[in-house]
Amino acid sequence: MSPTDKRNRPVILITGASSGLGAGMAKEFAKRGYDLALSARRIEQVNELKADIEKIAPEARIETARLDVTEYASVFDVFNEFRNSFGKIDRIIINAGIGKGAPIGKGAFETNLTLMNTNLIAAMAQSEAAMEIFRDQNEGHLVMMSSITAMRGMRSAMTAYATSKAAVSALAEGIRADMLRKPKINVSTIYPGYISTEINQGLPKSKTPFIIDAEKGCKLLVKAIERKPAKAYVPYWPWALIGFLMRTLPLSWVSRII
């Protein structure tokens, strides 16, 4: 590959890339010929990931930055620093998030507030920063990582999490509506089913039906994202059907499904 070809490699920015789906997708995208801008709070783990990726995709250019997405001003700074460093950003994956919630009314407001700030308000900040870049470039691909739980209100410790994911799905759809007349700017909402990561480690199988391993899940996620769909369930089967059932069945039945 010539230096010119290398400079033309597509650039992907992934937040929350220190572990889980973010790290797995980074590896898959690197194998497919992308350069990477990786960020997370745990910068040591991001740099370890960079070293791992350089072994499997030595031609990839990888830049890293520490980013706590709840430090909202830093989101804009880091995104713009990445853009200035690479000269462009082709795709931004809003992946940073947490899954630890608590039942409403059980005295854990601060826990749920932290979750909502991380999963929703920080996603708004990332969307703002991303779309400023894409509007200026007049092209780009915004990817919002939602969840199958966004289909319906969830009970117990999942209530705040499902709420945050339903809200970011609506956020992505609103941005997509704004971009309908800008065909070079795409917005995708991704609804993963259960994929084995640290966020669901230790949960009983009854609470994680149809779970698949992280490597397979990340390959399917990358394949779906590369199609630039408006929406995608990953894996498509059985989660497209389950998503439909969750939206249409009585709430008492939904609680038995997921």
**Cβ distance 17 to 26 under 8 Å?**
yes
The secondary structure of residue 120, as a DSSP letter, is I
Q: By C-alpha distance, which of 144, 164, 142 is closest to 154?
A: 164
**Cβ distance 35 to 12 under 8 Å?**
yes
Q: Which of 34, 72, 161, 236 is catalytic?
A: 161
Q: Phi, psi at residue 229, to the nearest 5°?
A: -75, 160
Residue ranges of alpha helices (H) inside 179-235 are 214-226
Q: Does 161 qualify as catalytic in the annotation?
A: yes
**CA 71 to CA 149: how far, in whole Å?**
26
End-to-end CA distance of the chain: 48
CA angle 118-35-84, nearest 5°? 75
Active-site positions read 161
